[in-house]
């Protein structure tokens, strides 16, 4: 294993771990919100962004496959990690955009503006 492969692993592994951490947080938040909707009998509107999420998934798969195919003489593990790294970056940016959107919705619907003090 040469120095470039070691460097690639050192750069890729933190992004994979960050995605695992964000996925776990998303799971617990989702489970908590489902519990809250059942306890308080809250009606959640239908997901209107389903078509965009399908387009997003197709886009990152195609771009990730293209990135893996464009590398010459690469081993399988490095190709898979490259593909997953591209997916992690895309997922993190999607979650960031959705989080900002959700924070703005909460801010608009909340009577007390102190709920989201960081969002002035």
Tell me the per-residue pLDDT of 77-100, one tens digit each, with 9 for 90 and over. 777 777 777 777 777 777 777 778
Decide if pLDDT at 29 tops 80.
yes
3-class DSSP state for residue 2? coil
Crossing angle of the two packed helices 76-109 and 3-40, in degrees rounded to 10:
30
Decide if pLDDT at 114 tops 70.
no
Decide if pLDDT at 3 tops 80.
yes
Mean of the pLDDT values across residues 12-18?
83
3-class DSSP state for residue 111? coil
Mean of the pLDDT values across residues 5-11?
83
Residue pair 85/12 in contact by the 8 Å Cβ criterion: yes
Residue pair 15/88 in contact by the 8 Å Cβ criterion: yes
Residue pair 78/1 in contact by the 8 Å Cβ criterion: no
Residue 87 is encoded by which pair of tokens?
């997916």
Q: Residue 62: its pLDDT value, please?
A: 84
Q: Residue 48: its pLDDT value, please?
A: 66
Decide if pLDDT at 21 tops 80.
yes
Q: Residue 37: pLDDT band by 50, 70, 90 thresholds?
A: confident
Decide if pLDDT at 102 tops 80.
no
């Amino acid at each position: 294993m040469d120095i470039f492969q070691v460097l690639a692993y050192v750069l890729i592994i933190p992004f994979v771990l960050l995605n695992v951490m964000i996925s776990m947080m998303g799971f617990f938040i989702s489970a908590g919100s489902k519990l809250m909707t059942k306890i308080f009998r809250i009606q959640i509107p239908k997901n209107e962004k389903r078509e965009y999420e399908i387009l997003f998934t197709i886009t990152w798969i195609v771009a990730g496959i293209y990135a893996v195919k464009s590398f010459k003489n690469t081993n399988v593990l490095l190709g898979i990690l490259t593909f997953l790294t591209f997916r992690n970056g895309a997922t993190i940016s999607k979650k960031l955009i959705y989080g900002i959107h959700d924070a703005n919705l909460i801010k608009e619907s909340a009577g007390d503006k102190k709920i989201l003090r960081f969002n002035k």
